[in-house]
Chain A
Amino acid sequence: MRYLPLSDADRSAMLEKVGASSIDELFRDVPEGLLLDGPIKGLSLHASEMAVERDMSAMARKNMVAGDVPFFLGCGAYKHHVPATVDHIIQRGEFLTAYTPYQPEIAQGTLQVLFEFQTQVARLLGCEVANASMYDGSTAMWEAIGMARRITRRTLAIIHEGVHPHYVSVARTMAKFTGDSIADRSPQLSGDMQIDKLLAEIEANQPSCVVVQYPDILGRITDLQPIADACHANGALLVAVVTEPVALGLIKSPGEMGADIVVGEGQSIGVGLQFGGPYVGLFATREKYVRQMPGRLAGETVDAEGKRGFVLTLSTREQHIRREKATSNICTNSGLCALAWSIHMTLLGEKGLTALAQLNHARACEAAKRLSAIPGVRLVNDSFFNEFTLELPVEARPAVHAMVKKGVLGGVSLGRLYPAEPQLANGLVVAVTEVASDEDIGALEAALKEVCK
């Protein structure tokens, strides 16, 4: 077997060294009858590289590839062009096949990258400090709610309308077990994000935190400052959720507008779609809350010769030191995706990120104009970045399937995300990034016209 270096002669010599007459003697602690005597029945046996490649490729070919068709899906995962450099670097064995940097003297590569990642994330989100990554945006949001509970010693979290419904579902699941309560509601097909209602709820309910997505699931953008002010006046924290960080190349960061914790899904920078994972959770906050933060942190220090170096730090928050008193049970995070994120962000820089964001917005504006001109189709949003919601004259869910038959992946129907909300059934969320060409937008326009007839 190509991954196993021991020869039969090695095995015999080693068995002799350990004083065993057979390999199964080394398994003698396994009670009789429970040690299997041969390969598990009904499972295939070892296969050559070529055979496995054929098998896997056959399954890959059954999927419709985003890059092969006009593609407009978003809602928490975005298709952007990732420079070739990113994938090349993350496949260097020194990054790919390293472990968590527990021995800092021989892990400065990973540690310096994490320190740079933390700084880039903090600056992009407008916060003072960021951690070395979480699993994804949805788990980062849940951790933020838990952190707000620890800081405020309150247990009600208000999740404002427009937070990704799967994120809400994760929070509701976790809350069942932690004693938190979650107040949430679904959005309306309207540009009005009901901010006045939210401000009244904050005052009336004195929550631990308010969670607002920016831009939200319908693509709407709202000024977070009044919400932050209301939170702070009532002893609550504002948690902002960003699922499309490219937007922050063009619009104000949540931190600038007073958010106390900013979490995000980092996938759209450097990490491909990959059918939902692995992605990279972003988590940033104020310096004063750092000891309540979950997850790993890289920090600067010096070595015995006084040279600058980096280590994992403030570990007394973490499970391997604090055990049942830790801020979170997270251990492995999304290290390699954080590296990919950081490389892409370094290649972009502020100049490239701003240009990328402008290109996204320009294309989205153009698409919104063309699509909302289709008879019966209405643009829901007053504001948006690269994603907006259309109200169709027909149910959006079958429309999406009908567009697939025309070779167009034309958006995410709100019926898929909110199956229990009939008032959203005609909503179609369309994401338009730099990968959508003029021809792609034309193909979507033509397909949508047909299905809306």
Chain B
Amino acid sequence: MTAVNPSGWRPSSPATSGSEMQPTVTGNRALMLEEPLLFEIGSRDQTGVDIEQREGGNRLGGLERSGIDLPGLSEPEAVRHYTRLSRQNYAIDLGLFPLGSCTMKHNPRLNEKMARLPGFADIHPLQPQETVQGALEVINRLAFWLIDLTGMHGVAMSPKAGAHGELCGLLCIRAALEARGDARQVVLVPESAHGTNPATAAFCGYRVENIPATKEGRVDLEALKTRLGPDVAAVMITNPNTCGLFEPQMKEISDAVHAAGGFVYCDGANFNAIVGKVRPGDLGVDAMHINLHKTFSTPHGGGGPGSGPVVLSEALSPYGPLPFAAKYPDGSFKMVEEEHAGEEHPDAFGRMVAFHGQMGMFTRALTYILSHGADGLKQVAEDSVLNANYLLRSLDDVLDAPFGFSGPCMHEAIFSDKGFADGFSTLDVAKALIDEGFHPMTMYFPLVVHGAMLVEPTETESKANLDQFIAALRSIAEKAKASDPSLKAAPVYAPRRRLDETLAARKPILAYKTPAPDGVSAAPLAGGG
């Protein structure tokens, strides 16, 4: 039996906990340090850099600027400002971060080291190609790994993130349809899909319609077949889906879509569950983005940068965007751009970004892939699925697992708020997990499960970590069923208590405004609500 609380620490008595803590003069609480805004501590006359003074020449066309109002800090002040702020963040480096569908796995530091090699970090995107052969080799090698791991025909490397990859995939589909003079108007998307799916389809000019789900949480194949027809351009399916389940009829779905003349887009956000175990190409997928910042461990960085290469079927590969890194028989590499598209890639739908994509993410992802190899990546999928099933079966007696009856889950387990006492919600459970030292799971997504809690532990968590998390979540679930009012106050130990998001949206303050001298505070934006 693993000790849930190996330090032997016991909760302190209520009289000394939470909001009844004594105030301090500074507002600090030992290691928890308050930090003002840069604009409150910096000044326009302060700087943290020493720059050579150099005058001479004025070719500015008479457009000299006077005053920018940007405060600076000296280096020690800046280091402290950002270090203090960093400590108000939860992170994978601190503990379990089980955000479902986000794949918050350990970010190996070797990846960071390799991305910072000057040969990768300090080269310009428009350098003559003979000076960047190693960089093109990285892109090309990663491209072939992605193709082999997915069993697909081609890959577009330039999309900057998952949603950008979705856009790339749908643009390939639209280009392929236009090439055959087919003006299909509809994209079918399951209700459980990520919001980016319908947003992307709409951006591409398609009308979005929902696909119903079965009570087992899968795509309803019969309903889908009924809806398919000459107006359906594509079906967007997430597999494994956002309920954490593999779509067992994926091949039948693909065959039906193809028979009706449409294409299959697969949202690859959950590829971590099947990498090295199942190839989407074998399931009839035409396009799938791969979030390198999920499956291939490039860091999320507080919201990016991501990277979203899109693997493509033989039918769609001719339409992939420019530029791309090609390898020639003499062993040299070339970035094929618009100039040579006519000879090498005449049907490309166009260009998605200024340069070649997220090189800094490619080096990290390739480093990770080479570290794991084909055998390690297979183990990644297996351990991620094992960890999720272990959570599912360790919690399904205290939390409602709406699809638990139908068998194992993949890399994430989903629970609902069924059985919580009146007035207690998924939000309360999430906030209580914060006090226990965990990042909450994904809340209220997917929309098809009431009060959804989507838990993705990933393969980089030890059994001991999982056991501690299970113990915490079990205790919180019991409290939510027993109307324990302490949940409503959570979080108590975080740098902030619950934040007023309604106020933020009703009276948006999106930039710092220097207070008027008489102390009148900054006015919110006009036109709120």
Contacts and interface: CB of A to CB of B under 8 A. Distances in A.
B408 A302 contact: no
Interface residues of B, number: 207
B382 A366 contact: no
Given A61-B134, A129-B510, A314-B508, A107 B302 contact: yes
B301 interface: yes
Contact of B91 (A93, A223, A251): A93
Contacts of B71: 346, 349-350
Interface in A375-434: 381-385, 388, 400-401, 404, 409, 412, 416-417, 419-420, 434
Interface string A98-112: 111111111111101
A61 B131 CA distance: 10
Interface in B170-219: 171, 174, 194-196, 198-205, 208
A106 B204 contact: no
Given A276-B359, A277-B359, A105 B112 contact: no
Contacts of B174: 177
A28 B410 CA distance: 10
A366 B161 CA distance: 41
Interface string B246-290: 111001000000000000000000000010111100110000000
A102 B445 CA distance: 13
Contact of A98 (B247, B248, B300): B300
Contacts, number: 730
Chain A interface size band reads 35 or more
A173 B354 CA distance: 12
A98 to B, nearest CB: 4
A46 interface: yes
B138 interface: yes
Grouping DSSP codes into helix (H, G, I), strand (E, B) and loop, the B interface class, with mixed when no group exceeds half, is loop
A103 B99 CA distance: 11
B438 to A, nearest CB: 10
A196 interface: no
Given A18-B389, A250-B60, A170 B359 contact: no
Contacts of A204: none
Contact of B83 (A11, A89, A108): A89
A40 interface: yes
Interface in B90-105: 90-94, 97, 99, 102, 104
A14 B297 CA distance: 24
Contact of B408 (A28, A322, A348): A28
B216 to A, nearest CB: 10
Interface in A29-87: 29-31, 34-36, 38-40, 42-47, 49, 52-53, 55-68, 71, 73, 75-77, 79, 83, 85, 87
A139 B160 contact: yes
Nearest to A26: B408
Given A221-B60, A316-B505, 16 more contacts: A3-B376, A5-B465, A14-B390, A29-B246, A45-B373, A93-B94, A103-B440, A274-B115, A275-B123, A345-B70, A348-B47, A349-B43, A349-B45, A349-B46, A351-B44, A365-B57
6 contacts: A98-B89, A129-B511, A275-B120, A277-B305, A277-B357, A400-B128
